[in-house]
Amino acid sequence: MRQVDYGDVFGGLLLTGIGAFAAIEASITLQLGTFDRMGPGMFPFILGIVLVLTGLPMTIGGLMRSGSLPHVDWRPLIFCGLAILVFALVIRGLGVVPAVVLMAVTATFAKPGWSLVKSLALALALAGLAVLVFNQGLGNVIEPFRWPF
Amino acid sequence: MDFLNNIALGLETALSLNNLLYCFIGVTVGMLVGVLPGVGALAAISLLLPTTYYLDPTAAIVMLAGVYYGSAYGGSTASILLNLPGTPSSAVACIDGYPMSQQGRAGVALLSTTIASFLGGSIGILLMMLFSPAIAGIATRFGSPEYFTMMVLGLVAASTIGLGSPLKGIAMVVLGMFLGTVGTDLSSGLSRFTFDLPELYDGIALVPIAMGLFGVADVVASVNSVDRTTSSATKVTLRSMLPTADDRARFWKPMLRGSGIGSFLGTLPGAGGAIASFMAYAVEKRVSREPHRFGHGAIEGVVAPEAANNACDQTSFIPTLSLGIPGSVVMALMLGALMIHGITPGPNFISQQPAMFWGLVMSFWIGNLILLVLNIPLIGVWVRILTIPYRLLYPAIIMFVCMGVFSLNNSAFDVVLVLIFGLFGYVLRVLGFSPAPLILGLVLGPMVEENMRRSLLLSDGDFSIFLMRPISGTILVFTVGILLWTLISNVGGMRRRRRDGAAAPVPASKHSGNE
């Protein structure tokens, strides 16, 4: 496959896509109004057009230029993302401590080479810190432990 | 006389036990965050935004500001000792600071940068005290068209002056403004782009976006790359910090020049500490009679940039507080924090809330003094902190992000928002975009739209109103000038790059651009 500047091509397409969506949605769903009486759709419409105007040259320029595939740190991305997701799913049901512990253990997988025991220790320490700062220190939020059943 | 009254009022506010406490917390956190590579002032301020809900507004801003200028002090420590900048604005200090520490002169470098930072910051604060009220006075003659063009100038400057492709910068700003339209439109009551999700009726909150884009994306990018080896952190004793007579002679002019450059650039929207320090370094090298010394441990090469970035950080409060227009992302976050408490900075801010404004100014003095004291004897402590492995740090950061965002509204949806924007922020970084202008667009977007709408209402749809009114017209011309200038300098750069056949450099920074 021909060498292109993947970063710019992808970025440009992303921008053009968002911009097109914005402009189309704004003009169909919302009223554009006239210039002297701007409707709710006018500003997003203009922004959408500008985005397309920045995205297209970027894409075209990227296609004409050669570049390397952008480097992605997959492991940190996946595990940090999962960690936050786990937190969001657990916090309301089970409270601070389980949420933080599960989150932290998941997060430590992002960097290879640590034992589960050490991860758990760090997770427990962080849970303790969380309870200290947020429950005692700021005096609110959800309880450390919660039993939904 | 009025001036002295203001100072007295300010001191009264700043010296209250509550404000002193939060000032201390702020500068210490700032110092810490500055010293540690991989965590920036931006991320720290985003993390602290939720806590400002529980504080009174003055204490909140005092603390956040402390983090901001405090980080400018700490950043150079890592640069000098490890050749690894703790903050983007201290990257320049590596160039001459690290050679100095290799020559066994780490102590001198650390001491001189601390003092340069203090003096630079002081000059910035002085300018703030003298000029903010005056600028606010002029701004009372601002109408909607003036605000519109001023904000556009800020956004254009922020996206183009920074490092990286201006096209990408503009795209980010516009994207941020678009995200700002999500929610209920105030003028018509219609909901825009909410996909019938009730959580979005009030728009996408600033805090989850900031925490996601900066906190989370920063962490993901840093997990693999930040690896602090057992540092050559030589024992830095108090005695080793004493400068020689030669050092002392070489200190003053660079410090003054750096402060001047930094103070000026700070007032411009879009120019942050990083650019100020780069420029100060470039100027020093240009005016020096021995340019060959630079890069090999020239003390001028550390003193000037450090004075510059501290001065810049202080003066960037001027447009933010007197006009209500943030010149950088951090300022946008500060503005956000104030708006959370229902305070909208603008020309009337200084006259309506004198206690807060002058209290803030005085707290800057106090904060800088605290930092001076913290830095000199405690340098050894900071050095030891540098040895905390990142794998312990990053889960802690994620914990603070999650708990912080959740505690705002007891909403797991907010946490999911952080996740989404964290992923998005990382994607942006990988593709070579800087997420900083996005936040600026997000914060200013609604105001830009409002002012545009009002101006066009006034002029019955005639766009020339922006050009015809004198102040607005001048600002507009200036904006177009900046756009043209960056376009021209970029086209030249592109031509050169194509000739060399090299791919466009991607700023693979783990910190966002305008800090």
Q: Is B398 in the A-facing interface, judged by CB distances under 8 Å?
A: yes
A-interface mutation test, from B186, B219, B403, most A Cβ less than 10 A away: B403
Mean pLDDT of chain B: 79
A114: chain B residues, CB-CB within 8 Å: 391
Give me B152's structure tokens.
């556009």
What distance in Å separates residue A2's CA from the closest CA in chain B? 15
Are A54 and B170 an interchain contact pair (Cβ–Cβ within 8 Å)? yes
Lowest mean pLDDT across B106-115, B215-224, B279-288, B499-508: B499-508
pLDDT in tens, chain A (149 residues): 567 777 888 888 999 999 999 888 888 877 777 777 777 888 889 899 999 998 998 888 888 877 777 788 888 889 889 999 999 998 888 888 888 888 888 888 888 777 888 888 888 888 888 887 777 665 556 676 765 54
Give B505→chain A minimum CA distance, Å: 9
Give the residue from B167, B172, B149, B69 showing the smallest Cα distance to B434.
B172
Least confident residue range of B80-84, B131-135, B151-155, B479-483: B80-84
pLDDT for res B501: 41
A 10 A CB-CB count for A25 gives 16
Mutate to test the interface with B, among A16, A34, A52, A77 (most CBs of B within 10 A): A77
The string of DSSP letters for B159-204 reads: HHTSSS-HHHHHHHHHHHHHHHH-EE-TTT--EES-TT-GGGTT--
A70 to B403: CB separation less than 8 angstroms, yes or no? no
> CA geometry: angle at B505 spanning B427 and B485, to 5°?
105
One DSSP character per residue, B214-242 reads IIIHHHHHHHHH----S-------SGGGP
pLDDT at B229: 45
What is the rounded radius of gyration, in angstroms, for the C-alpha atoms of chain A?
24
In angstroms, the separation between the Cα of residue A28 and the nearest Cα of chain B is 12
pLDDT at position B47: 78
Interface touch B398/A103, C-beta < 8 Å:
yes
Q: Does B510 score more than 50 pLDDT?
A: no
A66–B178 C-beta distance less than 8 A: no
* pLDDT at B232 exceeding the cut of 50: no
Query: How many whole angstroms separate alpha carbon B341 and alpha carbon B349?
Result: 14
Q: pLDDT tens, B351-379? A: 788 888 888 888 888 888 888 887 777 77
pLDDT at B1 over 60: no
Residues of B in contact with A67 (CB under 8 A): 503-504
What pLDDT digit, counting tens, does each position of B234-245 carry? 555 555 667 777
Res. B269: pLDDT tops 80? no
Whether residue B167 lies within 8 A of chain A, CB to CB, comes out as yes
Residue B406 pLDDT: 83
Hey, is the C-beta of B196 within 8 angstroms of any chain A C-beta? no
B318: amino acid identity, one letter: I
pLDDT in tens, B61-104: 889 888 888 888 877 887 887 777 777 778 788 888 888 887 87
Question: What percent of chain B has a predicted confidence (pLDDT) above 70?
Answer: 88
Which candidate from B177, B221, B461 shows the least CB-CB separation from A73?
B221
Q: What's the pLDDT tens digit per position in B169-213?
A: 889 989 999 998 888 887 777 778 877 777 777 778 777 888 788
Buried b (16+ CB within 10 A) or exposed e, B424-451: bbbbbbbbbbbbbbbbbbbbbbbbbbbb
A111 Cα to chain B: minimum distance (Å): 7
Q: Which pLDDT belongs to residue B493?
A: 58
Half-sphere exposure of B288 (CA within 13 A, CB side): 20
The confidence score (pLDDT) of residue B245 equals 76
How many angstroms separate the CA atoms of A85 and B286, rounded?
Answer: 52
For A98, the enclosing helix (H) or strand (E) is helix A96-108
CB contact under 8 A, A70 and B188: no
Determine the residue of chain B that is closest to A135 in CA distance.
B407
B197 touches chain A (CB under 8 A): no
pLDDT score for A140: 59
Mean pLDDT of B451-479: 83
Q: Are B408 and B50 in contact (CB under 8 A)?
A: yes
Nearest to A76 among B167, B174, B223 (CB): B223
Answer yes or no: do A11 and B415 touch at CB < 8 A: no
